[in-house]
Amino acid sequence: MSTEESQLQVDKNSEMSDCGPHRPQATGNDHDSTLAPFPGGGSDRKRGKSMFGLLVGTLNKAKVEDKERNASEAAKKRQMLEQRLQIKLRKDADSVRRAEEAKKEKTLANRKEEDLQLKDSIFKLRRKRLPLLTNFLNTADIIPPEGSSPPPPSSNPLAPIARTHPPPLYYLPAVLTTAQEEFLKRRKAEVSEAAEKEWEQFKEEREAGIAEISQLRQKVADEEARQKREREAKATSMDTDEPHHDSGETAKDTGATAATEPPSSAPKIQGEKDADHEMDVDDGSPPKPPVPAGGESERKEEPVPMQADDDDAVEY
């Protein structure tokens, strides 16, 4: 039996060797063949390096783009902030300039009004006083004798008298001569006509001055109204912003108050109150008869006797 078993074992081994993979014969170059790279190994390594390089390049490119995007966003924000600041500065400068112009126009209007009032007083006085002075003779007057041709009319009858030494004096004789009467009559007509003409010219000048003063004051009033509207708008915007903060603070205060205050005891229900009133010290005591509805108010008015708790009750 041992011989047959050994024979069977040899047959099995031969079959397995025939069916198994064919191994190359061992030669002297076996060591070199195992160390030699298999076909395609170098290209795979190069491809891996190139893929890694592409990955690193993509990451670096994304990082650079992210930096550029952040820089561009920051630049945009900075540019927008600068634009807002420039607009605000222009508005402030324009407001200050308008305020200064309004102040100058107000001062100019006041000065023009004062000058106009002064001129009005002067021309009113000249219109009234100069015709009155024509009723008197002056030591500087040159009166033509009787029978001579009258002198040509004066180019400026309202001109002041030339100062001399001694100064000229006004006088009026008790009895006037014919030449003096003609001289006074002619001069009075010339002065009155010139005074009225001067007054008419001043009236036109006064109307123009009043219109100019009205325009200046209107500009000042418009500028003051604009500044008032700006202040009201600013105050309104501040008032609208404050309630949000106030509501937050009020909520915080309410929460803090609710946290600090102890919880109030809940009110008892009427049934529980009645049950408490009906409790007795001893459990074995008979139940109390029901109280009628009419006597409920009397029972409330009567003092309730103090009842002992079960824990405080002492059994003898």
List the structure tokens of 76.
Answer: 């945009």
For residue 251, how far is the Cα from the chain centroid? Answer: 27
| Cβ-contact 209, 112 below 8 angstroms | yes
Least Cα distance to 129 among 166, 170, 164 occurs for 170
Going by pLDDT thresholds of 50, 70 and 90, the confidence category of residue 13 is: low
Note the pLDDT of residue 244. Answer: 52
Mean pLDDT of the chain: 74
List the structure tokens of 38.
Answer: 């298999």
Structural domain includes residue 51? no
| Cβ-contact 210, 113 below 8 angstroms | no
| Cβ-contact 133, 170 below 8 angstroms | yes
Structural domain includes residue 309? no
Structural domain includes residue 258? no
List pLDDT tens digits, range 140-154: 888 888 877 777 877
List the structure tokens of 237.
Answer: 């915007």
In this structure, the strands spanning 137-138 and 170-171 are antiparallel
Structural domain includes residue 259? no
212 versus 3: the higher-pLDDT residue is 212
Structural domain includes residue 210? yes
List pLDDT tens digits, range 52-110: 888 888 888 888 888 887 777 888 888 889 999 999 899 889 989 999 999 999 999 99
For residue 213, how far is the Cα from the chain centroid? Answer: 34
For residue 106, how far is the Cα from the chain centroid? Answer: 28
Mean pLDDT (whole number) for 114-121 = 95
Least Cα distance to 188 among 137, 237, 223, 228 occurs for 137
- pLDDT at position 211 over 90: yes
| Residues 6+ away with beta carbon under 8 Å from 115 | 209
Least Cα distance to 206 among 112, 298, 129, 279 occurs for 112
| Cβ-contact 145, 192 below 8 angstroms | no
Q: Total structural domains in the chain?
A: 1
Structural domain includes residue 88? no
List the structure tokens of 316.
Answer: 């003898």
- pLDDT at position 218 over 50: yes
List the structure tokens of 165.
Answer: 């030494």
**What domain range includes position 131?**
110-159+167-229
Structural domain includes residue 38? no
Measured between its terminal Cα atoms, the distance across the chain in Å is: 108
What are the helix (H) ranges across 134-177?
none
Note the pLDDT of residue 158. Answer: 86
- 171 - beta bridge partners? 137
List pLDDT tens digits, range 251-301: 455 555 544 454 444 444 454 445 444 444 444 444 555 554 444 544 545
| Cβ-contact 113, 213 below 8 angstroms | yes
- 170 - beta bridge partners? 138
List pLDDT tens digits, range 233-252: 888 887 776 655 555 555 45
Other Cβ atoms within 10 Å of 225 Cβ, number? 10
Structural domain includes residue 188? yes
Secondary element (H or E) of residue 115: helix 41-133
Total-model pTM: 0.48
Please, is 195 exposed, middle or buried when counting C-beta atoms within 10 Å of its C-beta (0-12, 13-18, 19+)? buried
For residue 165, how far is the Cα from the chain centroid? Answer: 74
ω into 166 cis (within 30 of 0): yes
Mean pLDDT (whole number) for 2-6 = 57
